[in-house]
């Protein structure tokens, strides 16, 4: 996709899993990438190296997306170092699964602060730039949990449901400025979150997926790339489910 060549993308949570796959996918199309990480510096630096080998600019930065001040400073620094900003991928997220009766206030706050507040902080920090240049593209990485709800994930489902509503509301606000806002809602994806599951647990999961397989990070990255392409230039405010049919109703 030549339309992504020399664009600049900002990705929250780009060192592993889905974020890593998105960063490398965009880099393969010639897009320069700045991405954040928190605890996995070595993995982040390896992604940065891979992007450099593709011939694009790349910068990994340790950023707490739960802090508006840190995110705002990161966005400003990225604009200064890479010259401009065209794309925002809100991917950073955490999971702390527990039944509500066992969920602490801290469990609730940590998930909301990272998943929902982090998206607000990055979007708020980028939106004026996008509006001034009358162009921009935001893709939020949500979850089918935010659509159908999953037991043991009241905090996570609430954060992703809020992300879906935010996507639709912001899309209406900024469409007139040439800015598109969409979300991708993955189902069960083969990342570190699933790596700890036993074989019988994985088989149980497959029972609920019509396509009878879990998705890969690349499945999600491909859909993100589509939403950023000219083929999707008349699409905004949509939640694209990438779940093998898990959330079919």
> Measured between alpha carbons, how far is residue 65 from residues 53, 179, 210, 226 in Å?
27, 22, 35, 25
Q: Is 185 in a helix, a strand, or coil? A: strand
pLDDT in tens, 87-104: 999 999 999 999 999 999
Q: Could you count the other beta carbons within 10 Å of the beta carbon of residue 72? A: 15
Q: Could you count the other beta carbons within 10 Å of the beta carbon of residue 56? A: 21
pLDDT in tens, 235-244: 999 999 999 9
Locate tokens 């497959």: which residue? 206
Beta bridge mates, 10: 34, 88
**Catalytic amino acids?**
156
Q: Is 25 in a helix, a strand, or coil? A: helix
Within-domain flag for 248: no
Within-domain flag for 96: yes
Per the structure, the count of domains in the chain is 1
Within-domain flag for 58: yes
Structure-token pair, residue 129: 């730039």
Give the per-residue pLDDT at 120.
Answer: 98
Mean pLDDT of the 12-20 span: 96
CATH number at residue 15: 3.40.50.720
pLDDT in tens, 195-210: 666 777 777 778 888 8
Within-domain flag for 66: yes
pLDDT in tens, 98-140: 999 999 999 999 999 999 999 999 999 999 999 999 999 999 9
Structure-token pair, residue 167: 């996507």
Question: CA–CA separation, 178 vs 135, rounded Å?
Answer: 5
The answer, yes or no, to whether residue 187 has pLDDT greater than 70, is yes
Residue-number span of the structural domain to which 179 is assigned? 2-239
pLDDT in tens, 38-86: 989 999 999 999 999 999 999 999 999 999 999 999 999 999 999 999 9
For the ranges 5-9, 69-73, 155-159, 209-213, the lowest mean pLDDT is seen at 209-213
Structure-token pair, residue 223: 């859909």
Mean pLDDT of the 10-39 span: 97
pLDDT in tens, 136-154: 999 999 999 999 988 889 9
Within-domain flag for 132: yes
Within-domain flag for 244: no
Within-domain flag for 121: yes
Query: What is the pLDDT of the chain when averaged over all its residues?
Result: 94
Question: CA–CA separation, 241 vs 184, rounded Å?
Answer: 6
Q: Could you count the other beta carbons within 10 Å of the beta carbon of residue 221? A: 23
Within-domain flag for 246: no
> Measured between alpha carbons, how far is residue 42 from residues 38, 85, 93, 173 in Å?
11, 26, 19, 39
Give the per-residue pLDDT at 190.
Answer: 84
């Amino acid at each position: 996709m030549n339309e992504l060549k020399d664009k600049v993308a900002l990705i929250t949570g780009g060192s592993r899993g889905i974020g890593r796959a998105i960063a490398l996918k965009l880099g393969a199309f010639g897009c320069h990438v700045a991405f954040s990480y928190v605890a996995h510096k070595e993995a982040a630096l390896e992604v940065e190296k891979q992007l450099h080998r593709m011939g694009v600019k790349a910068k990994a930065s340790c950023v707490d997306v739960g802090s508006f001040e840190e995110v705002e400073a990161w966005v400003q620094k990225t604009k200064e170092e890479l010259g401009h900003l065209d794309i925002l991928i809100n991917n950073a997220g955490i999971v702390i699964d527990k039944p509500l009766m066992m969920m602490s206030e801290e469990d609730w706050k940590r998930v909301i602060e990272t998943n929902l507040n982090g998206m607000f902080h990055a979007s708020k920090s980028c939106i004026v730039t996008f509006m001034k240049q009358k162009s921009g593209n935001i893709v939020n990485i949500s979850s089918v949990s935010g659509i159908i709800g999953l037991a043991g994930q009241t905090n996570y489902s609430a954060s992703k449901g809020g992300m879906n509503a935010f996507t639709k509301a912001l899309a209406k606000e900024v469409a007139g400025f040439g800015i598109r806002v969409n979300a991708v809602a993955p189902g069960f994806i083969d990342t570190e979150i699933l790596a700890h599951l036993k074989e019988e647990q994985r088989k149980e999961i497959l029972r609920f997926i019509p396509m009878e397989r879990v998705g890969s990070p690349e499945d999600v990255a491909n859909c993100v790339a589509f939403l950023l392409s000219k083929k999707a230039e008349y699409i905004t405010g949509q939640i694209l489910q990438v779940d093998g049919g898990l959330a079919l109703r």
